[in-house]
């Protein structure tokens, strides 16, 4: 019996909002990888809806961060700025 190879995954372009959000949280140390994915999702949601603040998005994610929340917000904001997204 043979199996088919898995479908190839098509990456988002680097200019896509999803890629920008997940790249901005890629260096944040979390307890588990799923915490980082959840954090990336909340940053993406914040970027796409333009409601609330980045600080609120990080808090709402419920991610178990291994650094203080304020440091995580600062790191994410700096990453977003280098990618061309202005953070108020």
Write out pLDDT tens, residues 36-87: 999 999 999 999 998 999 999 999 999 999 999 999 999 999 999 999 998 8
Q: What is the pTM of this model?
A: 0.86
Reading the block at residue 26, the tokens are 């890629």
DSSP letter, residue 11: P
Judging by beta carbons within 10 Å of its beta carbon (0-12, 13-18, 19+), is residue 10 exposed, middle or buried?
Answer: exposed
Would you give the distance in Å from CA 25 to the centre of its chain? 4
**Closest Cα partner for 37 from 26, 46, 52?**
26
């Amino acid at each position: 019996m043979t199996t088919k190879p898995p479908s190839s995954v098509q990456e988002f372009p680097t200019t896509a909002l999803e890629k920008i959000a997940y790249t901005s949280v890629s260096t944040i140390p979390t307890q588990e990888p799923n915490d980082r994915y959840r954090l990336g999702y909340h940053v993406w949601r914040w970027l796409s809806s333009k409601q609330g603040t980045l600080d609120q998005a990080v808090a709402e994610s419920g991610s178990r961060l291994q650094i203080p929340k304020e440091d995580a917000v600062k790191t994410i904001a700096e990453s977003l700025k280098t990618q061309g997204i202005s953070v108020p």
